[in-house]
Structure 1
Amino acid sequence: MSAAPAARAFEVRHVQLARAFFAAIAAVMVTFSSDHSAAVGLSVFSGFAIASGLVLLLAAWLVYPAGSRALPVLLGVLSAAAGMIGGLPPLRSTVMFFVLVIVWALVTGLFEGIAGFRAFRRAPVHSVARGVARDGLTVGVFGVLLALGTLLVSPQYALEYYIEDAHQSFTLTGITIAVGLFGGYAAIVAVYLAIAGFSPRRDPAPIEDGHA
């Protein structure tokens, strides 16, 4: 009689919760910062991307079995690399924020979304694997939407406006909008992955590549 496979100390839910935690930190930093400049935006993005990348790279060995590690490794490397580029002070410009966030969000979003979609189609109905694949597909879609939304914003955009109560003029710029979009994305991902991570698991279905 063969012995049952040992339970893993870490599960997909732990990856989701860790990703949600770092996304929440990024969302809070953007929300409560009065400075939405490229330097601040890239600083927050850099920390978020590096932390998320490290979570995915560690998860590839601690959570995912052999044969299912390609996607977390790829996403981890791409995120960590994007974070390190954004962390270089000489490169922190408005154009760099737009380019880096758009490319990172689009590429990682497409990889995670497509993998999630394929895994969703293969997984049995009402299985844990199907739920995990759905979460991966959803997070991938969020990434693509971030890329498309940021792409629609012009880096040169500037709108002057005056607030009577404050007796002061302000300028709404393209980088302010773009950093705000990233903060909104981080907040949505944090809430979604936190809910997914705390949701009960009903069966020990094998992990698919389309993770969240």
Structure 2
Amino acid sequence: MTSPRPARTLEVRHLQIARAAFAALAAIMVTFSPDHSAVIGMSIFSGFAITTALAFFAAVWLVYPSGRRWPAMLLGTTALIAGMAGGLAPLRTIPGFFVTVIAWALISGVIELTAGWRELRHAPGRARREIAPGVVDAGPYAAPGPASEARDGVVIGVITVILGLALLVVPTQYALRYTVAEAHQSFTLTGIIIGVGLFGGYAVIVAVYLAIAGFSPRRPLPIETEAATASADQKDPA
């Protein structure tokens, strides 16, 4: 018989709220910074990526059961590598910003999209049934997460991939000089300003979406899914 599953320290909603907070902070810094240079843009992205990576690594042990930890580990590793690269002075250039952010967006977006899509495809048929009261069918198994979590992963994955594709079409050497007659001033719109602005817009969308997802009420998991998850945890605590 399976013993009742102990309450986890954190839930998926806590990871989503943490990601939303870090994204909101990045969006605020981009919005209110008068300097959208490559140095400032990389600094903001680096802080966002590293803090997000730490949230994913914490979630590996505190949120997800055994068998469902690989997306968080991959996403955390990708974000940490990108964040550390963003802290290197030689990469705090216009090409360095675009290459780093595009690579991170495409890789992490595909990972999150793939993980969410797999959960959506297999969730209906993967829940274990009890073969007797309190007894769950044995064997290697990782219970699927809630469908809402999988959908959120798909949406964020798609948005992140779109960020990478949008940055790909921005000319890094673009420069447009224009004048605002009312202000009697001339300004120059450059490729890096557009790139940093796109990242700031992405951060706003992610912050709002994940905050709504994190604070939305959730349905409790079905009994058979909880029992299967507990069984998987007991078989492989790592």
The TM-score with structure 1 as length reference comes to 0.93
Contact 2:119 2:145 in 1 (8 A): no
The answer to whether residue 229 in structure 2 is matched with residue 192 in structure 1 is no
CA deviation profile, 1:3-49 (whole Å, cap 9, x unmatched): 31111120000000000000000000001111100000000000000
Aligned ranges 1:108-127 → 2 under 5 Å:
108-124=108-124
Deviation at 1:105, TM superposition (A): 0.1
The answer for the alignment partner of 2:68 in structure 1 is 68
Deviation at 1:139, TM superposition (A): 0.5
The CA RMSD measured in Å over matched residues stands at: 1.7
The answer for the alignment partner of 1:6 in structure 2 is 6
Contact 1:56 1:72 in 2 (8 A): yes
The answer for the alignment partner of 2:88 in structure 1 is 88
Bigger Rg, structure 1 or 2: 2
CA distance in 1, matches of 2:216, 2:122: 21
1:140 partner amino acid: G
Q: Secondary structure at the match of 1:160?
A: strand
CA distance in 2, matches of 1:51, 1:102: 18
Q: Percent identity?
A: 58
Q: Secondary structure at the match of 1:124?
A: helix
1:154 partner amino acid: P
CA distance in 1, matches of 2:152, 2:73: 18
Q: Secondary structure at the match of 1:116?
A: helix
The answer to whether residue 58 in structure 2 is matched with residue 27 in structure 1 is no
CA distance in 2, matches of 1:203, 1:128: 11
Contact 1:37 1:175 in 2 (8 A): yes
Deviating 4+ runs (over 6 angstroms): none
From 127, 144, 148, give the equivalent of 1:131.
148
From 158, 172, 180, give the equivalent of 1:141.
158
State how many pairs are aligned: 207
The answer for the alignment partner of 2:139 in structure 1 is none
The answer to whether residue 184 in structure 2 is matched with residue 167 in structure 1 is yes
The answer for the alignment partner of 1:97 in structure 2 is 97
1:155 partner amino acid: T
CA distance in 2, matches of 1:35, 1:16: 29
Deviation at 1:129, TM superposition (A): 1.1
Contact 2:30 2:44 in 1 (8 A): yes
The answer for the alignment partner of 2:135 in structure 1 is none
CA distance in 2, matches of 1:98, 1:123: 37
1:161 partner amino acid: Y
The answer for the alignment partner of 1:55 in structure 2 is 55
The TM-score with structure 2 as length reference comes to 0.83
Is there any run of 5+ residues in structure 1 with no aligned partner, and where? none
CA deviation profile, 1:69-101 (whole Å, cap 9, x unmatched): 111011101101100110112320000000001
The answer to whether residue 165 in structure 2 is matched with residue 152 in structure 1 is no
CA distance in 2, matches of 1:109, 1:51: 17
CA distance in 2, matches of 1:112, 1:119: 11
Deviation at 1:200, TM superposition (A): 0.5
